Each structure stands twice: as C-alpha cells, then as structure tokens.
A and B are shown apart, each in its own frame.
Chain A
Amino acid sequence: MKIAVCLKRVPDTEMRFAIAADGKSVDTVGLKFEISTFDEYAVEAALQLNEAHAPGEVAVVGLGPDGLGEHLRKALAMGADRAIHLAAETVPYDALAIARSLAGALKEQGFDLILFGRNATDTGSGAVGPMVAELLGLPCVTAVSHLEISGATGTARRELEGATATITFPLPAVLTIDEGIARPRIAGLKGIMAAKKKPMEVRPAELGAEVLSIDRLALPPERQAGRIVGEGADAVPELVRLLHDEAKAL
C-alpha cells in the first residue's frame, strides 16, 4: 500500500506564548517547533497500515520553511520511507492555497491513502485535508478515530458530538486522523540513523494567490474574576442556568 502523510510544523506554545511586534504572528524567539499532534497520529496510523499491508511505502509531505526538514526527518526516523519538502518561507493561513500546493505534489503518484491530522494545533481549522480531496477528486473521511482497510475498501469511525458514525469508503482516499487511532511510536536510535540515508526531496511550494489572510493576532481577554453562585445544593439550579444562558457551556 502506498500512503502519503501530510505534516505541519507548528510552534510548541505550551511554555511560552507571545505575540510578535507585527501584531499578526507569534513571537518565535526561543520557541520550539514540533509536528502537529494529530499529524503525528497520522504518521503512526500510516506506519501500522503499511506494516499490515506490505509491501508498500509511506511518504511524508510537508510545506514550510527550512526548519520543517528536521520534523520530516523525525517521521523518517519513525519509519516513513521518503519525504517531500515543499519549501516556503512561511506557511500561509489560507487552507486553500496550502491545499492547492499539496494537491499538485500528491497527484498522479498512485497513493492509495493520503492522510492528514484532524487539524493543526496552531490554526485549528482542519480544512486542508478535505480541500485536497476535492482538488484531487478523491473520497474523503475526516476525523477518523478507528480505521480498517480490507482490499480496496475502508471502514472508518468518526466521533460526533455524543455519537459515533461508521463510514465506508473506497480507496484511493483522503483521511484526516483523530487522536485515539494509535499512539505515535518513539523513534529509536537505529531509526534515526536510518533516516539520515532516506531520500528527502526539496522543491518550491508553488503557492498561488491567497484569499484568506490574518489581520491581527491578539491575546484573549483576561479571565474575569470568578463569582460564587451560592452555597450548598440550593445554588445548583442557578449555576446550571448560568452555564446554559451566560457561559453557553451546556
């Protein structure tokens, strides 16, 4: 089985998060980058599928600056066979622009599956995968939390709000992978060594015009001082009312 996995390089904002002076981007000074979490699940899913349906290959594809190389290399160390780095100084915000570039690189390569993470942890849009599917005319299942492939047919599970959908689809297809499908493996020393010798193709990303851009990036409003709704069980109805009407959390 031939599988492509698309990866995004995103900043690890757990420890440090600041807005850059331009007011539109994240201050990257001292920031560490990583493979977006769901994309790493997608890599693991691809490796397991490839192991179960040998022979085949897993290609990892990314779009981004030089620094993306080390993350593609990490996927190679986990076990992917080759990498394609679509070089771009910055990753556009516009999912369609990214999708067009990726679709151009992925078309006519005979991939049985093209995997994405459910969404990137930075923009959280989850749009590139289904857009690539449309551009390539391929069937697409998003937010896959469980997957079985049998011959040229796949069965996927998607977690909905409070329900679970079972979905069948023919191959080739585009899937976006949710957490829970498999825990990403840790690359061993030998994998890291082997990765150095695996092919990594670098070529320009060929990004077209962008129709979506970012005007401003701001910190969310400070959390306001909490309020004690009341004492004891009698305060519960008021709490539930506030959660529903005011906080919109129910």
Chain B
Amino acid sequence: MADFMVFAETRGGNLRTVALETVSAARQAADASGGGTVHALVCGAAGVAGAAEALAAHGADQVHVVEHPQLAHYNAESVAATAAALIQSTGARAALFSASVEGRDLAPRVAAKLGVGLAADVTAFEVHADHVTATHPVYTGKAVATLRLVGTPAVLSIRPGAQPAVEHAGKGEVSSLAPALDPAAARVVVTEVGARGAAKLDLGEAPVVVAGGRGLRAAEHFSLMEDLAAAFGNAAVGATRAVTDDGWRDPADQIGQTGRLVSPDLYVAVGISGAVQHLAGMRTSRVIVAINRDKDAPIFKVADYGIVGDLFEIVPRLIEEIRARKAAG
C-alpha cells in the first residue's frame, strides 16, 4: 500500500487536463500497490473547490483545497511550501506533479524543500518498496532513460499526455487546507496571465509545427497554413527549402538539414513530398502527419498518419475539426 500526493494544476480557476492525467496516474499506481490513498492538492482563489468533483471522479480520495485571493495565479512559493507540508503530513510514498511549465517550476522546489530526489518529465513509473523506477526521454528524444529514485517521498513530474486521464471514482472527501506560507508573503508574484500575443511561436519550441511545401502552389496559399496554426493555438508555421528558395517564405522558416532542426510533439506536413534534406530536419518529431496528393511521396514513409488527396480540400476541413475539438476542451 502506497499513498500519493498529487498537485492538481489549474489555470483561471479551472483544472487543466494535465491535472486529471496526473491524478489518474496516481490512482493507477496506488491501486497497483494494493490500494493506497490518493491525496490531491488544488490551490486557487475562492471557488477553486469546485474542481474537487472532477478530481474525485479521476480517483482522488482526499481533495485538499487551498483558497486564497492571492492564489488566483500560480504562486510558486506558497504552493511549494503547502505541497511539501502536505506530503509530510500525509506520509505520502510519492508526490506527483505535471511536467507542464508550472509543474516543472514547482516540483524541483518541493523536492529541494524535502531534501529528496526528483525524476522530472517522466512518461511512466513504478513504485517499489525501496525505490521508484521512472522512464524519462532524454537527449531530445533520441534515447529513453530508466531512472532509479531511492528515498521517501519520491517526487515525480509526469509528462503531459504520457498518461491518459481515466475516470475512476475515488472517495472524494474534500477538506480545506490553510496555506503553509501566506500567499501574500510570496516574493515572486504572477501579476498577469494573458492569452499569448501576436508574437509568433518559435519553430524550435512550438509544440506543434505545421509545414508547407511546394504543394501549396503559391506564396499566398500559406495563409491556409497560418489558419491551421491558429486553430492549433500552439503551432508555428514552417516551410521546405523549395518554398523558401522560391521566396514564398522567409528563409528562417525553413525546416531541414540546412535550416531549422525541429522535434515537436506533432508535425503536420502539408504538400511536402519528403526530400531527405527536409526529413533530416523533422524526423525526430513525436507524431508526424502527412497530407499529400501523391500516395507514393516519401513523406508517407515517415508519417504516422497520412491523408492522400487535395490539400485545398483537406486542410480547411482539418482547421474546422481542430477548432471544434479545441472548443470542446
């Protein structure tokens, strides 16, 4: 039997999907250990307690809610202190965080406060009596490390999307918790969280890259790619060398051996045949989608999913479907 503490990430008072994934991962591990208790910690302004229901539905037995006006935004110092205290008071075997931007800020602070090890950005883990093993992609995805973490509690951050959010009723007892550090005393203060501005996402860091090739036939058709990127919301637009050579796009947008090397979570190749020079720049992407008229195009050999056909029909439909999916949350 192992008990778990999970930090449930919110934004704007709403649970993020990664919170449900992390709770689900804890539930599964607790059950695998013979049925431990899953504690979830959720912090926010008044009303964040409403998140407890969803956490319970994904396996949380105890939901600890901290409500404070100064927790409306992520408050690293207060939340870290509270999480560390809760881990200690619950005697949790392991604490799970999301390896999101904020989770990766929080988990190391908590581990350092407790003086214990952290396995960051793991895709899977197993809890044993005297150690925890965790799987962590390293070298920008070129290898996978199996880590061994000794000591209790073990702190882990779980890569977003690596563990599915699974509905599984937990006891769902809700209790309110006082912050271990007054949020108003925090030195680091998030003053504003805004939608990302017009600033273009960098190709190297965008989680999604949509890239266009000669199949787009003209520079002005790249507006279709811009629309597709906008639909994803977290995408950057890239291009092949043929396209940048023809001046349709800025050379800085070129993905390939002589341009940018990218390794996003999702790569959508539109009207790209798949010249080796291009493949060299994107082959380490996690998931590759190809849309091309020619079913024999080499791009389909590296693509996980392909659609053969006219991109001018397929891409607008894809924009529509992605928008619908994003709207549904």
Contact = CB atoms under 8 A, between A and B. Distances in A.
B310 A226 contact: no
Interface stretch (B44-52, B62-70, B86-94, B316-324): B316-324
SS of B interface (majority): mixed
Contacts of B77: 139
Nearest to A134: B112
A169 B187 contact: yes
B105 to A, nearest CB: 4
A218 B287 contact: no
Contacts of B112: 96, 99, 130-131, 134-135
A230 B146 contact: no
Given A163-B195, A226-B306, A232 B146 contact: no
A151 interface: no
Given A166-B190, A220-B144, A130 B109 contact: yes
A214 B195 contact: no
B202 interface: yes
Contacts of B306: 226-229
Contacts of B108: 95, 126-131, 134
B303 to A, nearest CB: 4
B181 interface: no
A228 B308 contact: yes
B105 A232 contact: no
Nearest to B288: A226
Contact of A215 (B147, B189, B320): B147
B204 A215 contact: no
B101 interface: yes
B193 A164 contact: yes
Residue of A134, A169, A170 contacting most chain B CB atoms (<10 Å): A134
Contact of A247 (B140, B145, B187, B287): B287
A232 B314 contact: yes
Interface string B171-213: 0000000000000000111111111110000101101100000
Contacts of A94: 117
Contact of B111 (A131, A165, A249): A131
Given A96-B118, A217-B143, A231-B309, A179 B188 contact: no
Residue of A96, A141, A244 contacting most chain B CB atoms (<10 Å): A96
A231 B291 CA distance: 10
B34 to A, nearest CB: 24
B83 to A, nearest CB: 12
B161 interface: yes
Contact of A161 (B74, B101, B115, B190): B101
Nearest to B300: A226
B169 interface: no
B120 interface: yes
Residue of B133, B141, B307 contacting most chain A CB atoms (<10 Å): B307
Contact of B187 (A160, A170, A179, A236): A170
B221 interface: no
A233 B314 CA distance: 4
Interface string A54-67: 00000000000000
B217 interface: no
Contacts of A216: 145-146
Contact of B304 (A164, A178, A227): A227
| Interface residue range, chain A | 35 or more
Nearest to B320: A236
| Interface residue range, chain B | 35 or more
B233 A162 contact: yes
Contacts of B287: 243, 247, 249
B144 A218 contact: yes
A232 B313 contact: yes
Nearest to B321: A240
A220 B309 contact: no
Contacts of A164: 193-197
A239 B307 contact: yes
B105 A143 contact: yes
Nearest to A219: B143
Contact of A159 (B101, B104, B308): B101
Interface in A174-230: 178-180, 211-220, 223-230
A180 B77 CA distance: 26
Contacts of B247: none
B100 interface: yes
B312 to A, nearest CB: 10
Contacts of A180: 202, 205
Given A131-B108, A212-B117, A230-B307, A17 B204 contact: no
B32 to A, nearest CB: 19
Interface in A129-178: 129-131, 133-135, 139-143, 158-170, 173, 178
Contact of A248 (B137, B161, B197, B290): B161
Given A142-B104, A159-B196, A178-B205, 14 more contacts: A95-B108, A95-B117, A125-B118, A131-B112, A134-B109, A162-B196, A163-B194, A164-B195, A167-B191, A211-B150, A213-B147, A232-B308, A232-B314, A240-B325
5 contacts: A13-B140, A26-B139, A131-B112, A139-B188, A248-B161
Q: What 9 A-B pairs come out closest when comparing CB atoms?
A: A134-B112, A211-B117, A125-B120, A127-B108, A232-B309, A212-B117, A233-B317, A139-B187, A131-B112
